[in-house]
Amino acid sequence: MKEDGPLFDARDGLGRYLVSSGAQLALVIDEAGRVLVAAGDAGQLDATAFASVVAAHYEANLQLASLVGEPDFRTLLHQGEQSSIYIAGVGGAVLAVVYDGTRRLAEVGPEALLLAERVESPIRELIAESGGDGRVHHLSPDWVEAVESEIDRLFKEGV
Amino acid sequence: MSMINYASREINCKIVYYGTGLGGKTTNLEHVYAKINPDTRGKMISLATETDRTLFFDFLPIDLGEIRGFKTRFHLYTVPGQVYYNASRKLILKGVDGIVFVADSQEDRAEANVEAMHNLYENVESYGYDMETIPFVIQYNKRDLPNILPVEELRAQLNPNGLTDLEAIATEGKGVFETLQAVSKLVVKALS
Ligand SMILES: Nc1nc2c(ncn2[C@@H]2O[C@H](COP(=O)(O)OP(=O)(O)OP(=O)(O)O)[C@@H](O)[C@H]2O)c(=O)[nH]1
Ligand SMILES: [Mg+2]
């Protein structure tokens, strides 16, 4: 793994925050529901499934906002018994932080907002680098051939 | 639109099953979930009503493992087909890399199929994506039922441009993997 670049910066920012805040897991998720950056320990949580629901949930909330004439609801807070979730839009992506139930969201909210500001610029860079800005990337014919044969193997009827 | 994360060396492709209500989109994903090698599938998420109608989406991730240095995954989604869920349907198209249109072959669903196809074009284009270039296949489902239209007729209504199309009986698993195979190959080709 490269020791510099936006992925490293974003992961580093999230990692430091986890240590200082006692949060369990922080994810940056793109608008299509894919995990861009992850830090911390997912434990029992299925991070892939979690990310797909967070992205849809966040997008749905943007729609709710526009229906009541707000530009957005930038942060979403869910306080539970066992765990709590903080969600915010950041740099064209979505930041989700999972805390265990002992931390009240009212107290971590301002901290998390600072985190969002800190990781915004690496996240923008990362999205641009990944093609999320609409640039087209091309992979080698080698890769395409290898994936195609894997698709044939895996998606054979009645496997 | 495909996200190639060079830094973490991951490629995640988003494939969306679209089409009229009760056409069989969720049934397609359920069959894939039931029959694919369990090591490759992740958790399936279904946000549905008590009567099993999709309310927001279904989600099923498939992990192809590391291929030539890239962790390669397909994320399969279905949308809610019922007309009045358009806002939710549109959200799920964000960042789409490939589309499967599941048509209901029954005669009395002909109009609903055409309407869903128009709605797909409208929603995709509202994001500035180009339907001409998005990997796209069409599935004529429910071929087991008695009151179905001949494929030629469905083709004339839904596939004037001669895209890849396939027949299916999703409840029996027929044509389900062929459809996924066809769309995922198109998605991968679009990356070369
Ligand atoms: N006979 C027959 N029934 C099918 C077939 N495929 C799906 N069905 C049935 O059609 C009904 C609707 O299927 P779903 O997969 O839930 O349809 P959907 O497209 O997800 O519907 P929405 O979520 O409302 O958009 C179910 O009762 C299925 O069992 C098929 O090939 N043949
Ligand atoms: Mg459904």
pLDDT of residue A132 exceeding 60: no
Pocket test for ligand 1, best of B16, B17, B26 (most atoms within 8 A of CB): B26
Tell me which amino acid residue A2 is: K
Contact flag B72-A157 (C-beta cutoff 8 Å): no
Q: What is the mean pLDDT of chain B?
A: 94
Handedness of CA B141, B146, B149, B150 (dihedral sign): positive
Give the DSSP letter string of B15-63.
EEEE-STTSSHHHHHHHHHHHS-TTTB---EEEE-TTS-EEEEEEEEEE
- Predicted local distance difference test score (pLDDT) of residue B61: 96
For chain B, domain boundaries: 3-191
Q: What are the beta bridge partners of residue A90? A: A93
Q: Is B56 exposed, middle or buried (CB count within 10 Å of its CB: 0-12, 13-18, 19+)? A: buried
B161 touches chain A (CB under 8 A): no
Q: Average pLDDT for residues A28-57, to the nearest whole number?
A: 90
- Predicted local distance difference test score (pLDDT) of residue B121: 98
Between A38 and B170, residue with greater pLDDT: B170
| B56-104 per-position pLDDT tens digit | 999 999 999 999 889 999 999 999 999 989 999 999 999 999 999 999 9
Please tell me if the CB atom of residue B53 comes closer than 6 angstroms to any atom of ligand 1. yes
Q: Which of A19-23, A37-41, A94-98, B17-21 has the lowest mean pLDDT?
A: A19-23
Residue B3 pLDDT grade (very low, low, confident, very high; cuts 50, 70, 90): low
Nearest CA to A58 out of A83, A18, A36, A30 is that of A30
Q: Is B61 exposed, middle or buried (CB count within 10 Å of its CB: 0-12, 13-18, 19+)? A: buried
The helix (run of H) or strand (run of E) holding residue A117 is helix A105-129
Residue window 81-120, chain B: list those with CB within 8 Å of chain A.
87-88, 91-92, 94-96
Q: Average pLDDT for residues A35-57, to the nearest whole number?
A: 91
CATH of residue A32's domain is 3.30.450.30
Between A and B, how many CB-CB pairs are < 8 A?
Answer: 146
The span from the CA of B61 to the CA of A46, in Å, is 11
- Predicted local distance difference test score (pLDDT) of residue A10: 86
Q: What are the beta bridge partners of residue A29? A: A35, A94
User: Domain B3-191 maps to which CATH number in 3.30.2320.30, 3.40.50.300, 3.10.450.50, 3.20.20.70?
Assistant: 3.40.50.300
Q: Average pLDDT for residues B147-164, to the nearest whole number?
A: 97
pLDDT of residue A47 exceeding 70: yes
- Predicted local distance difference test score (pLDDT) of residue A1: 46
CA B91 to each of CA A61, A101, B30: distance values in angstroms, whole numbers, following the listed order: 11, 31, 22
- Predicted local distance difference test score (pLDDT) of residue A159: 45
B101, B120 Cβ separation under 8 angstroms: yes
pLDDT of residue A13 exceeding 90: no
B17, B77 Cβ separation under 8 angstroms: yes
Q: Is residue A63 part of a domain?
A: yes
Instruction: Give the number of domains in chain A.
Output: 1
- Predicted local distance difference test score (pLDDT) of residue A131: 65
Q: Average pLDDT for residues B123-134, to the nearest whole number?
A: 95
Q: Is residue A1 part of a domain?
A: no
| A28-40 per-position pLDDT tens digit | 998 889 898 999 9
Q: What is the mean pLDDT of chain A?
A: 85
pLDDT of residue A3 exceeding 90: no
Please tell me if the CB atom of residue B169 comes closer than 6 angstroms to any atom of ligand 1. yes
Q: Read off the tokens for B142.
A: 């429910």
The span from the CA of B145 to the CA of B157, in Å, is 19
The closest-lying atom of ligand 1 relative to the alpha carbon of residue B30 is 15
Give the DSSP letter string of B57-80.
EEEEEEEEEEETTEEEEEEEEE--
Range of the domain at A131: 6-157
Q: How far separated are the first and last CA of chain B, in Å rounded?
A: 13
Please tell me if the CB atom of residue B135 comes closer than 6 angstroms to any atom of ligand 1. no
> Nearest bound ligand to CA B89?
1
- Predicted local distance difference test score (pLDDT) of residue B177: 97
- Predicted local distance difference test score (pLDDT) of residue A6: 83
pLDDT of residue A158 exceeding 60: no
A29, A35 Cβ separation under 8 angstroms: yes
Please give the distance, rounded to the nearest whole angstrom, from the Cα atom of residue B28 to the centre of ligand 2: 9
Q: Are strands B45-48 and B165-167 parallel, antiparallel or unpaired?
A: unpaired
Residue of A32, A139, A146 lying closest to B191 (CB–CB): A139
Nearest CA to A113 out of A74, A79, A80 is that of A74
Residues 6+ apart with CB under 8 A from A29: A35, A36, A51, A54, A55, A93, A94, A95, A96
Please give the distance, rounded to the nearest whole angstrom, from the Cα atom of residue B151 to the centre of ligand 2: 23
Residue of B36, B75, B189 lying closest to A154 (CB–CB): B36
